[in-house]
Every structure is written in structure tokens, then in C-alpha cells.
Structure 1
Amino acid sequence: MQQLCGHIVTIKDKSRDAERVVVGMTRDIKSLDAAKRNVTVAITVTRRLGMLTAAVKQLRAHAAQKEYTQISPMLQAINQLELHFRSYRNVPKVAALLSSLRVVQADLQKQILDLFDSSFTSQAQLQPGVNVEMLGQAAFVMDALDDSARQQLQNWYCSLVLREYRTIFNGKDELSNLDNVPRRFAWLKRYLKVYDDDHARLFPAHWAMDHRVATQFADETRTGMALAAAGAASKPLLKTVKAAVDMEQYLAQRHAEQPPVSLAAAIEPFLGVYLDAEEKRVAEALGKAMARGLAPDEGNPAVLASATDLFLLYKGTARDGREIVAREVGRRCGGAHGQVPRPVRRGA
């Protein structure tokens, strides 16, 4: 029995020794796995660092030759590689490489802006003999750089296009009044034709540069229209609203996939002048009809003579007040001012 107990103790000791050996081996295996992962990461980072270094060098060379066709896809690859080094920015070699990349990108951005600036006249017309294909490729490079580069080129182009418009229509001369608002819209239509013929191929389609220009045009035009509308007579107001609604519809058809451009909203706060004039005209017509009494119409004795005149008046008012004005007239006549009177009929 004593011998059996001794064997059991021996077996337990050997089991503990074996367990310690297994634990040690497991720890060593884990260390080897961690080392392997670290080596793999180091190899991957080193390889990517080499790729990024070579890409920056090639980018600098292509930029010097203005080879924009090769630059666009290269920038996309560089942007993907750069993502892997965000956590290594404190490493001196990586920081120096990324700083060098920023310098190349900034120089490239300035180079393209200068290229566009030298390719256009001050009237936003392309210079004779300009390389349109190169400009289009350069715009795609700006699109691949970053948001700020893209916005800088977009803002430059919009400002260039609208420079002439601001000079002509934002002054204090006769073109700043409501009677000439249709000429503002005619200017925009002329520009859009130039864009379709000459400028559309210069920019990526998803930029929708013509819509950007139209939106800025609308922002500035609404301001000018609002200033001119203050104190304007009813007829110019109505004419302006009609022209603005027509232009909105034209732009909505042209830019069906873009946010709508608002123009007529600038006049809506001043429509009280038009509505007051219409109310006065209707009141005068009603006064004349009441003064004529219940005289029947010569062609139709069942209808009062005043009915035809009033019907034609209401019809003209409704026609002139369609779109925005119609909504305002309906709100006002159906609200505080009651319903629009109906033509007087005999026996009513």
C-alpha cells in the first residue's frame, strides 16, 4: 500500500512537470505568433512605404510635365496608401514623406488653378487655341486631390462667370430695376448655352457646374430683385413674378436631378402691392356694376349686363395671378378679405 501511494505521488509530480512544460511551450508559441505578426506588419508597412515613396516621386515627375492623365489614377492610389500611415505620423521618415506629398499636392493644385486662369478671358471665354482636353484632365486631378482643391476650382469658375453679371446688373443704373429682370434671365440663358457648347467638357459631370452657377446667380438675383421690388408698382411686380416662375421651370427641366433654384420667392413679400391694386380694380368694377342697377344683358336677358364685364375681369385676374401670385391671391381672398364675389345674375 505504501508503495502504491508512492507511485501516485510520483505520477502527480510528473503531471505537474508536464503541465509546466506545456504552459511554457504555449507561451513560446504565442510569442512566436506575435513575433510573426509583427514581422508581417513590418514587412507590409515597409512595402507600402516603398510604394508610397515611389508614387510621390512619380507624381512629382508627372506634375512637372503636366501629364494629368497619369496623375488622376495615381492620386487615387496615393490616397489609399496614405490611409495606412495615419497611425505612423509620429515616425520621422513617414512624417517627412507625408510632408513631401503635401508640398507636391499643393504645387499641383496651384499649377492647375494657374492653367485655368490663363485659359480664360476676363469675360469667361476660352482663349483661342487652348488645350481643352488638358483642362478636362486637370479638372479630374483637382477632383482626386481633396474637397478643398475641388471647391477652390469650382468657386473660381463661378466667380469668373458671374463677374460680368455683377458688373452689369448689380449697379445703381436702370438695369437694377424690375423692368429689366427678364434681361437678367436672358443673360443666364446665354451663359448656359456657352456652357453647353464650350465649358461642359472641362469639368466632371458630377460637379454640375452649370447648376452651381445658376444657384449663385439665383442667390444674387433674389437680392437685387428684392431691393428693386421695394416700392415698385403692381404691373412690374407681376411681370417679374411671371418671368421668375418661367425661369424656375426652365432650370427645373434642365437640372431635373439637382435641387430646385428659387427666384420668385424674392418678390412674394412685396405682392401686397399687386393684391391691393387688384382689389381696388375689382372694387371699382363692382361699384360701376352696382351703379348700373339690374339692367339685363342685351344678348341674354337672363343675365345682368354687369355679369359679363365682371366675369372677364375675374378671368383676367385669375390668368395674371397664376403660379405664385395665384396662391397669394387665394390665401388673401379666402382669408381675411372673404370670398371673391360672383357675377350678379337676375333673380339672385
Structure 2
Amino acid sequence: MTTPSMKETPADEVEVGGPKEEEELKLSETAEAAIKEMCHTEFCRPDQELTAQINELFPTEQSLAQLDTVIAAVEAEIHDLDVELASLVESHDEIGAQGEAALQEAQKAMVELERRIDSIRGKTRSSDEIVREMTRDIKQLDVAKRNLTSSITTLHHLHILLTGVDSLAVWVDQRDYASIARQLPAILNVLQLFDDFQEVEQMAKITNRLNKLKQSLTVQLAGDMKAVFQAGQLSERVTDMCRVAAALEGTVKANFCKWFIDQQLAEYTVLYAENEEGAWLDKIEERYKWYVRKLTDFERSGLAKVFPADWDMGRLMTKEFCNVTK
């Protein structure tokens, strides 16, 4: 008796898991990408149709004999996934702890950075104050330097004045007109620098002493110059006398020039006086010739070179000759 063959029924006709769920789980693209990365088998695909998968695994009733094997494989896969998920969760906890620690370290670093910034800001303010103090000190030192320089210069001038007055007293007694001619202008120039200090007792004493020396020198010089010219002792010493006369204030130079010119024209005033024959108008040419001879002798004798060039003694003589003649 032949057993009738069982009709093979496709697995898709077997209802599994009851009616289909009408609502499907919707995952984000990021979650699906993460699941795909974790899954290594076709059972993990989120777009997998379970019915189609079951029919593919069990195409015939005979293939149901492998159900236990398939279940074991699925359970093994689930176990592996559970292990991997547990590992991921543990890793996530560790990463979270590390992240928290890193966050705390970052916060500490930010606090330290803020502290350093405040410190730098404080140092900057302190540096600004130091710069202002240094600037103020530099200004004070600059003023002190100018005052010190002025004091040193004043002391130097005072030393020149004191030593100059002492030396001048010695030179006047010795009639050392060469030294007097060299130093007297400098002494008088330095004295002018102390015009604002004449109320100071010591300065007033120095000024009075110098004025007395000048008065004594004026009288002495006038007598010595007249004596030298009257004796005809012309030398470089006479030039020094003239330089001293030019340096002295007052009428020393003018008085001596007048005396010298009167001496040179003394003969002329006698020869051509109003009561003399030479005073007539027809003697004008003789007057001119006389003065030409006199001026020529003045130049040739070297007398003109005795006087400083800026005195222009020849011009002064000519001017006085004209005044006397008219």
C-alpha cells in the first residue's frame, strides 16, 4: 500500500508571530548607520522582511527539521549582540567618565587661564604704574641734571672770576700789560654773567674790588702810554697797552687818541695859527703838503703799526686835521 505523498507547502503560507504589526519602528539615519556597522549577519538588517527571511530559511516542510539548528544559530547571534552591546555600554560609561574628567580638567584649565590673565592684567597695570613712576623720576633727574650742570658752569665761571681778579691785581702792580690784554676781556665778560647776583655780599665784594682795579689801571695806563710815546720807546708793549685801553670801559681809549693826535698836530697849530703868516688862504697848499709829510712819516716810522688796526688812527688824524684847518 502506497502512502500518499505529502503535498509540499511553501513556508510563506505558515503564519508566524500572528498578524503583521501595522506600525513599523522608525529609526534615524544615524541610528540605522550605527546598526549596520554593528551587524555582521543578514539577521540584523533593519529593512529585513521577517516572513521572507523565514520562507528563505524553510522553503519546504522538510526543512523545518533544521529549526533547532537555526534557533541555536539565532540565539548565538543574539548572545553575541548582547555581549557586544554590553561592551559598548561599558565603553560608553568609560568614555563618559573620561569625558567628564576631561571636562573637569578643561574647566580647571580655564580657571587657571583666567587666573593667569588676571595676573597678567594686574602686572600690566603695575607695569604702567612703574613706567609712570620711571618717567616722573627721569623728569626729576633731568631737572636735577640741568640744575647741576648750571651749578657747575656757575662755579667754573666764579673760579675764573676769582682767579682772574687775583691775577689782575698782580699784573697791574707788575705793569704786565700783555697778560692784562689777554685776560681782562674774559674777566669782564664773566662778570656780566653775575649781574643778577650783585645783591649777594660775596659777589658785591668781588665786583667792587674789580672796579677799583680798573680805576687804578686806567690812571696808571694813561700815564704809562703818554710816557712811552713821549720817550719814543715804541715796541710791542705799546700795542698791549692799546689793547688794554680798548678793553677798559669808559673814555680811556678816546682820551688817549685825543692826546696822541694833539701831540701830532701840535706843530701844525703853531705854524698855521691865525696870527701867523701861514694862516693866509694862499698858504692852503702848504698846509696840505705839511700834513702829507706828517702822515707819510707816521706810516713810514712804523708808528701806525703800533696801534690796533681797528683804531684806524690815520683816519682819526686826518679828520682832526680837517676840523682844525676849517
Which of 237, 257, 269 aligns to 1:154? It is: 257
**What is residue 199 of structure 1 aligned with on the other side?**
303
**What is residue 96 of structure 1 aligned with on the other side?**
205
Q: Please, which runs of 5 or more residues in structure 1 have no aligned partner?
A: 121-125, 224-348
Residue type at the aligned position of 1:199: L
Once the two structures are TM-superposed, the CA of residue 99 in structure 1 deviates from its matched residue by: 3.1
Note if 1:74 corresponds to 2:183: yes
**What is residue 184 of structure 1 aligned with on the other side?**
287
Which of 199, 209, 212 aligns to 2:316? It is: 212
Once the two structures are TM-superposed, the CA of residue 59 in structure 1 deviates from its matched residue by: 1.3
Once the two structures are TM-superposed, the CA of residue 117 in structure 1 deviates from its matched residue by: 2.4
Residue type at the aligned position of 1:25: M
Q: Counterparts of 1:66 and 1:82 in 2: how far apart (Å)?
A: 22
Q: Counterparts of 2:310 and 2:224 in 1: how far apart (Å)?
A: 21
**What is residue 114 of structure 1 aligned with on the other side?**
223
Q: Counterparts of 1:103 and 1:175 in 2: how far apart (Å)?
A: 48
Residue type at the aligned position of 1:66: R
Q: Counterparts of 1:64 and 1:201 in 2: how far apart (Å)?
A: 27
Q: Counterparts of 1:189 and 1:102 in 2: how far apart (Å)?
A: 42
Would you say how many aligned residue pairs link Structure 1 and Structure 2? 216
CA contact (8 A) 2:243 2:308 kept: yes
Provide the identity percentage: 28
Cα deviations across residues 231-263 of structure 1 (Å, max 9, x unaligned)?
Answer: xxxxxxxxxxxxxxxxxxxxxxxxxxxxxxxxx
Larger deviation, residues 14-23 vs 203-212: 14-23
Q: Counterparts of 2:124 and 2:235 in 1: how far apart (Å)?
A: 83
Q: Secondary structure at the match of 1:114?
A: helix
**What is residue 83 of structure 2 aligned with on the other side?**
none
**What is residue 231 of structure 2 aligned with on the other side?**
127
Note if 1:31 corresponds to 2:136: no
CA contact (8 A) 2:234 2:303 kept: no
| Aligned residue runs from structure 1 range 197-276, under 5 A | 197=301, 199-221=303-325, 223=326
Q: Counterparts of 1:42 and 1:138 in 2: how far apart (Å)?
A: 36
Cα deviations across residues 74-119 of structure 1 (Å, max 9, x unaligned)?
Answer: 2243244335434444443333323322322232222111112234
Note if 1:169 corresponds to 2:272: yes
Rg: which structure is higher?
2
**What is residue 143 of structure 1 aligned with on the other side?**
246
Residue type at the aligned position of 1:155: K
Q: Please, which runs of 5 or more residues in structure 2 have no aligned partner?
A: 1-106
CA contact (8 A) 2:222 2:252 kept: no
Q: Secondary structure at the match of 1:171?
A: coil
Normalising by structure 2, we get a TM-score of 0.55
Once the two structures are TM-superposed, the CA of residue 41 in structure 1 deviates from its matched residue by: 1.6
**What is residue 62 of structure 2 aligned with on the other side?**
none
Residue type at the aligned position of 1:213: M
Once the two structures are TM-superposed, the CA of residue 182 in structure 1 deviates from its matched residue by: 1.9
Normalising by structure 1, we get a TM-score of 0.52
User: Is the alpha carbon distance of 1:107 and 1:194 closer, same or farther for their aligned partners in structure 2, counting shifts above 3 Å?
Assistant: farther
Q: Counterparts of 1:119 and 1:68 in 2: how far apart (Å)?
A: 13
